Structure 1
Amino acid sequence: MDHFRTVSDTSVVCWAAKNHPLETLLPFIFSDSPRDDPDRNVRAVTTLYASLHNGTYQGAGATERFYLLGLSPNAARVAIRFWLVGTVADFAQRLWQWLDDIELVGARDLPGRPALKTLLRSTALLGKEENLPPHWVGEVVRAILSGSPLPTALLTGVLNRIKAESGAVNDYRAALIKAWLNRHFRQQKLKGVTVSLNLEEDRIGYLLGRLFAALEKLQTDANPGLNATIRDRYYSSASCTPKAVFGTLMRLHTHHLKKLDRPEYRIAAQNRIQEIVAAITDFPAHLDLAQQGLFAIGYYHQRQDFFTKKTSTQGEAA
């Protein structure tokens, strides 16, 4: 059934008062592509995104009524998780906002907007859908479809999974964090998070994440073939209680600088780190949840920037 999709324990059914393409396009935002046509969802997302202009649906049937029903099991019964009513234009705009919120440099699924199932599995133990906490999956779906802030439990879950895996901030987890932060900041009328590295971003969590990535790169440049980096040992504490660990990390960085075998590499690495440190007035004792999210995004953005540099020599971004 093209109008029906299941995410964890939540089943979503949608329909329009009159037949409309959004009835079949919307479910692809949430589900995996079929194995016999792995690009099907990408095409559907591209079609939907192309039908919107600055977040506004201007196609035929924009004022038609559109309905969304969320169902989940409850003992021997089926419970209504949510019931949303609006126009085609309303829901198209909310989907555009979601796709815009999760867009991120380096995302592996073209056009950079993975399906919700793929994103959520990245937060689960062993990457298995059955290990997702059912109580917040439904809330995530409802938030997307209603245009509301995402539940705090989602950000907590993503950050906990990253810490449990020694700072593994992959594309999918970073996209979820970016979406959570943007919706949180939008509600507070604060500036959002950019798609790629933002050199003008001055929030402390983001700066510390960038600094951590720069220190890690220095360590790996100074020790080629290193099996474990500062990320494996220090990511969790650096992202939660920076004051307790950044003193140690900054002392380590002077040792790593000395191991670089060419002066120009040493100067480039030092300048890169000092540029970030210059914007940091103090290392806080504790970062709140939103700042921990910014730490993850700063770390991710800075690493992606290193990876996309064309220079591949030691001491320069590979």
Structure 2
Amino acid sequence: MPEESTVPQPDVRIREIAPRLTFQNHPVATDVKTELVRRLLDAGVRSFELSSFVRPDLVPGLADAAEVFARVPRVPGLTLGACVGNMRGLARAADAGADTASFLLSVDEGFARANIGRSTADSLAELERMAAFAADRDLVLDTYLIFAWGGPTGPARGAADLEPLARRLLDIGVDRWILADSVGYAAPPQIRELVTAALAHVPADHLTVQIHDGRGMGLAALLPLLDLGVRAIDTSLAGSGGHPAMPGAQGGGVCTEDAVQLLELAGVSTGIDLSRLLDTANWLTDEVGVPGKGFVRHTGPVPAGGRPAEPLAFTW
């Protein structure tokens, strides 16, 4: 489990997912992955989705997952997560020292078969077996709800679509969820609707939201999440990312540096140094050659000075 820290906790926990989301689609050497994490640690990031323990023939860019876990320096307050697709992957994540493991559950049936080779129903049966395994070990098991808002090509989904799946997950004892807008379908009203429905089943501190900014609405989702009490948000440095099963798709997450600037200007602490984050984003895109997006690394941050922002009035 992560070491305890005496550093004040930020208002929002930003989990950096670029080490998994980007490198699953843009293979690089293990040294590059660990250098990225080191730079992000220097910037104050303390929560990562570090890699995936999945079949290397399907995702060859993450075949070095165990080595990456072994090389990352442990610092106080650090939490390291991994994606897993089955019991074998969960056992490998536990052996590697992961603090959390996230099951790759797709709400979209077609993508479920393309991604991990089984139906959503079969995935739920596998997750039930994995929940029993994780309960006997010092490992937090949560689950993705990939395409929770719809996609990759089908219609949008709403609260009514979530209900049967939510009940099934609670039946098998999995009450920590990552709602993923995997192709950027949701504007703030849709974000609010589905998150509100999820919060009827699980507490806010068991919910993470991950927005893939494929349609330019990603940043707009952040403030509604805060208003709803969600404090765990997944972002990707330089808006980078993609998926081997969706070649050519806009698969990047909400841009970490843009998200940090927005939150800090809104009076919400993240514990992350924006200047160092920008240096790392530019290193990732310019020196490593990873495709990226985002605004603040091109235009520069809003100049410091003037009256500080009043913190937003949250409902904690």
TM (normalized to structure 2)? 0.22
Please say which structure displays the higher CA radius of gyration: 1
Which one has a larger percent helix, Structure 1 or Structure 2?
1
Q: Which has the higher contact order (CA 8 A, sep 6+)?
A: 2
